[in-house]
Every structure is written in structure tokens, then in C-alpha cells.
Structure 1
């Protein structure tokens, strides 16, 4: 099977620093927080009045003229890297957290037009796009659903981890975007996938019983402001609310399409709590699911409280990623396990009791 990816990276405003901490200078324009809408500022404001953190996030939207590539087993990582270097591509390994990525700083050739790209040896996408698939951890011979698949970068990664076995359903509500999924799957040599065009909220009515479901939901894109500067001023209150409602419905649909004992990963490229922790909390309230560890050994814990909002203690198992902290686009990842009957409910209640007991001990000590 052939597969790879190319991805964009966000760097802080002081210059370019790669994953190994080596400074690299590039020319770029700075964007400062005064250009952000009041809503964006309010919603990204750090908890407990940490204005410095808010400022750092809002300024961390400078994007280097660079890309990253995650590789397939064919060719092996070192072989693809050597080939691209010979073509005049300046690159490095992406980082210790993944063995399938390269960060590209600049290139003498268009990365989307090389023979290797045309042959499906890599895909172009952001480093943070690897995170939800890593959390999903699909295995060979499983039934997997990518509910909001377009343009297909994560689907090709899933197929690679499944070793082109089992069955992968790649769904999107947009017919034109579904064509991009099919094109990327074909170019990457994926043979275990089907592409469907359906409103994701209705998918459980057509099919279910999946071992793993990825819900990479449509979002405000506040974690990828560097790609689309209009995000910082375009969103209004009602748009955030509409997105949050859609995300809640999609996550419930993903859970309903999942088999008992299976896992659902929810992700967005947003840093807004109402698109992340609030959505996950809604699912915990509405379905018999429990949050489990994502398996990602870096990133910040999800919020258990945000301003006036309070979330279940297990929401701390979700992961947040920020451009000014993790040198990648802003992202959120949560992993849930589906239970039958009262099993999940009982475990959540026990968890709450444990947390309450610990809080009591802390108060007494």
C-alpha cells in the first residue's frame, strides 16, 4: 500500500523553531491581537485572568512557508526523506511523538507535484491532523468509520494503520468534497475503503456496529487561524452556537454507529470550550460512554472548569494543543468508550465519588 502526507506548521511570532529546537529565520508578516474580533478574544481568554496566555495564543498565528510529510510503509521513512532531499526539499523528522512525519521548511519544487506525491507516497496536511488517528489507534481487520472524512488525509492514515485490511467507511455530507476523498484514497493505494455521501447525523440509521469511529467535526477553525486569517474576525455568537449544536449531534451519531465496547474519537481544529469540552460533556450526559486516555503522551489536559462552566472530572483526559505551546496548529482530541446497560454509568458514578473523596481529603489536610 502506498501512502503519505504533507502538512503545514504554525510557528510563534519570534521566528521559526523546528521540532528539534533549532532556530530558522524566515520572512513573514505579523498579525496582532487588535485584529481579532471581540468574540474570538473573549472565547480564547485564558482561565482566571491569564492575559499573557491569551496574548501568546493570539499572536501565534504566523505560518512558515513549510510543510510536513507523514509517510507510509512504502517507501520507508528514510527512503522518502532522501528522495525529497535530492529534489531540493529542506526537511527534518517531525518529532519524537511520531515516526511517520517530516517537517518541510522550504522546497525548490512544488510538493504537490512531485512524482512521489502523484504516486501516493505522501499526503499534505498539518502535523496536528495525525493526532486524532493516533488516538483512534485502528487495527487490522476492524470495521472503522470516518464520519466527516473529507478531504481524506486522516482516512488514508487510518487505512495505513489497518494495513489495508478490514473495512473503512469514509463519509462526508458534501458530494464534491467526497470526490476529493475518493481521489486521495485511489492515489494512496487504499483498497479497503468505501466512500459514502450522507449527512453524518443520519449515518447510524444506515449502518452501525463499527469497532472505531472518528468524528473530526466541522468547527470554527480557531486553532488554524494561520491558514485562514478571516477566522479571527468572521465568527459571530450565533455561528459558534450553530457549530456547537452540529458537533453535538455528530458526536452522538458517531457513538450510535459504534459497537458496544468500541471507541469513538472526537476532534476539532478549534480551541473553543463550547466546541470541545462542552460537546464532550453533552455526550457524557446523553449516551452511555466514558472518557478514556487518548494515548497521546503530550499536550495539555482538557478543562474541567472554564469560567462559569464545570465539566465531569474525566474531561481532563481529553487533550488540547496550542500553536504557541506545541509548535503546531491548535487542536482538541477526546476518546470515548461505549458501554452497554448501566456499566458505563456505574463507572462514571464511581469516578465522581473518587474525585469527591479526594477533594474532601484535600480540604481536610
Structure 2
């Protein structure tokens, strides 16, 4: 389907580096769609499993995304909804251009060291899942979303990814100033006018106007000014948009240097990738433009900066501790886990929460200053007799090898994911992990005459084959 592009937008792009109007119009008229995904290295640990997952999406081998270790282009768009690996968190469907964040992180940060990273505008979770996959052990990722409903979607996607070192927050950017100098890295994929996605979302064109571009530019400046205090001295800011407009890209680069004292960080980008290098008018800052007629991906802009000015000393902190789960309750949880030495268990509203022990001071501080939508992995509900396991525990990588498991074929897996009884003989009594091709999907309780399906109602598949 051809995409109509506003004349004012086309006129505004004429002087931009790398812009080729004929090719740009042609690619928007072509109706071409690019489908890409990233594998989850925590759940797809080797080439054998990767091949199995990718083959489930179609017979034609996918091509690697050049700037992402785990990214792949698919030759066609399959039904992800009817692919059990999707629901198991084996991969995340993400637009390929935005995966360039990985290349930016690798060039600007020491990923061998633990980092505290804030993904400020994180929903639905593409960049957060990417960040989590490349951060070193001991790192903390805070994934924030200001819109409450979108924060819920973000939390669900991070739960499916399975990591315990993630905190999902639902805060305005200005709230982050309560954490002066706390983060090593800020990732700000700022709300924008969205012109880079018009090929994929032609219905969004109706919302574009020069006035909206100006409003977005002002909003981006406010967001960056509000969150800047939370970045430590010498910390890294990675700024991105899905807009072509200079006011939201190059102008913001100059603003960051002039108003916040940021120092631009150039990246090494292979010429073969066809990513256009751009420079701002006043400070000659270097950024990177992605045009869909030149790369396999949508329109995107990204630039990196270092904070050179001093950060105010952190405010005097309250006690950086979290309430530990009583020992008798801990035993109900430990039997489900393969390794407990590095974990901390806490209770929240009758439920057991699992966190990396070394991150508890940081999470305690976050709890004091922000609204936490999700932290770590929810193990489940504590009753007088047992732990009723939560779906987050099934999705995690923490489970003990000896937990009873029921292997489902493709048809049975889809029945389970529709919250039906897959009616498979098990030889098991009690709680069991339902899995597809060795990959957990969720919990069920096996009774003598039926299987009670504990897959979350709000996540169930509604689509028929």
C-alpha cells in the first residue's frame, strides 16, 4: 500500500544529508514491509536452539541485522501469535534500525562492568530487552514509562524476557531528578512526530504537521532537561527518535551541548551499512540517520553524548535495605530455584519477590523515590502450605532442573496458551511447568481427572488458526 507523505514534510527534508527524494518516495510507494526480531540469549543459548527457533518462523533462512549480535531479518512476516516460542520469550519482534542502540552501547560503554542504566521512554520494551541482553552481570536496568497503560505492557514484556535485574517504573521524567548522579547510562528514545515510521504506519501521517514537530522538539528538550541530573558525571546519554525532522534531531544535538554542556561522542560506523552521518549546524555534533531507501529498516535517528559537568551530590539516603522474606517462608521458594546463593527474597503484599542480592540497596533507593510497577521476578503467592507459583517465575531463568515438566506439541501448546486443557497424559500430580521444545510456557496444576491451566487470562491467545 502506497503511503501519502505531506508536502511540508518533503520540503523540510530537502537540505538534509543523504536525502534522496526519488528513492525516498519510491520506497514509501512500494508497500514494502521489513520484519525483524532479536533472539533472547538467556533463552536461546546456542546455535542449535537459535536454528530451531528461527526455523519455526518459516523455511527461508533469515539474514542477520549487521549492527545487532542477536538481530535477524525475516523474509516474510509469520503469525507470531501462533508461535509458542514468542510466548516463551525466545525473541522480541523489534524494528531493525532501532537495534542500532546495541552498536552505540558497545562503542560508548564498558559492557564488561556492571552498569546502572535507565531506559526513560521504554514501552513497549524493544530497547529495554536489547539493553538487558548486553549488560554485564551485576547491572541494573530501570525501564520507565510515563503512561500507565503502556507501563503495564512494558512490565508484561519484561516478564516474558525473564530477567531478574530489571525494575519497571511508571514515572514522569522529572521524578528522576530525585536520583542525582545515580545512572551510568541514560537511553532516551524520545516521543516524536513519528515520520520515520510512516511506511509502517501510514495512518499516523494524519497527525503530522510542522506545528506538531515544533511541539515535539520542545517536549524533547523538557524531557532531557528533567532527566539530566540523574546521569552521573562522565555518564553516557544515548538520544534517539523515529523522526526525520531536523528540529527533533540535529537541533536537539546543539541544544544538548549549549544548554546542558553535553559532549558529543562520534561512533565508528561501517560505510557498508549505508547509515548517513549528519552534523549539527552550530556545534558540529555527529549523529546518524537511517533512511528506509538505504537501509533495511525504518526511519531512525540516534546520537551519543557524555556528561562533562559535575553532578550535585546525592541527597542523604534513607536506609538502603529491603524487608527480607522470613526464613520459614524462604524455604517455600528455594525448592523452586536452581541457585539461591546470589538471590534476595522479599515479601510484597503476600507475594514473594526475587532480586539479585547485590542490587537490593539500589532497588531500595528506587522504591523510596519512584513508583515501581515491577521489580525482579515475582515468585508467587505465599499460602500457609506452599508457594502458588507466578507466571513470572515460569518465564524466568531461575527454575530448578527437578521441577516437574510437561512437554507439549505445537497443537497442545496453542491449546495451553488459549487457557484450555491440553488433555495430555502426564504421570504427574500437582504443579507442573508446561513447556514447548524445552522452553517454558507457564504453570498448570495436574489433578487426577484434568489439568488446571494457570496461564494468565490477560495473556491468553484469542486468535484462531
Classify 1:231/1:87 alpha carbon distance in 2 versus 1 (closer, same or farther; 3 Å): closer
Q: Aligned pair 1:275/2:248, yes or no? A: yes
Relative contact order, higher structure (CA 8 A, sep 6+): 1
Classify 1:173/1:217 alpha carbon distance in 2 versus 1 (closer, same or farther; 3 Å): same
Classify 1:77/1:281 alpha carbon distance in 2 versus 1 (closer, same or farther; 3 Å): farther
Runs of 4+ in 1 over 6 A off after TM superposition: none
Q: 1:312 aligns with which of 283, 307, 316?
A: 283
Q: 1:340 aligns with which of 309, 318, 325?
A: 309
Q: Aligned pair 1:92/2:62, yes or no? A: yes
SS in 2 for 1:324: coil
2:279 corresponds to: 303
SS in 1 for 2:195: coil
Classify 1:272/1:81 alpha carbon distance in 2 versus 1 (closer, same or farther; 3 Å): farther
Larger deviation: 241-250 or 252-261?
A: 252-261
Partner Cα distance (1:43, 1:280) in 2:
18
Partner Cα distance (1:319, 1:121) in 2:
30
Classify 1:96/1:227 alpha carbon distance in 2 versus 1 (closer, same or farther; 3 Å): closer
Asked if structure 2 preserves the Cα contact closer than 8 Å seen for 1:277 and 1:311, the reply is no
Q: Aligned pair 1:30/2:2, yes or no? A: yes
Q: Aligned pair 1:105/2:75, yes or no? A: yes
Partner Cα distance (2:292, 2:48) in 1:
27
Q: 2:133 aligns with which of 150, 154, 160?
A: 160
Q: 2:12 aligns with which of 43, 50, 53?
A: 43
Q: Aligned pair 1:82/2:30, yes or no? A: no
Q: CA deviation at 1:78?
A: 5.3
Q: 1:234 aligns with which of 188, 193, 207?
A: 207
> What does 1:1-365 correspond to in 2, within 5 Å?
29-31=1-3, 35-47=4-16, 53-61=20-28, 62-73=30-41, 74-75=43-44, 76-77=46-47, 79-86=49-56, 88-106=58-76, 109-137=78-106, 139=111, 140-163=113-136, 165-206=138-179, 208-297=181-270, 298=273, 299-304=275-280, 310-313=281-284, 315=285, 317-340=286-309
Asked if structure 2 preserves the Cα contact closer than 8 Å seen for 1:209 and 1:257, the reply is yes
1:362 corresponds to: none
Partner Cα distance (1:44, 1:91) in 2:
36
Partner Cα distance (1:294, 1:111) in 2:
34
The CA RMSD over aligned residues, in Å, is 2.4
Mark the runs of 5 or more structure 2 residues left unpaired by the alignment: 311-465
Report the TM-score when normalising by structure 1.
0.76
Asked if structure 1 preserves the Cα contact closer than 8 Å seen for 2:68 and 2:100, the reply is no
Partner Cα distance (2:279, 2:23) in 1:
19
Mark the runs of 5 or more structure 1 residues left unpaired by the alignment: 1-28, 305-309, 342-365
Asked if structure 1 preserves the Cα contact closer than 8 Å seen for 2:34 and 2:296, the reply is no
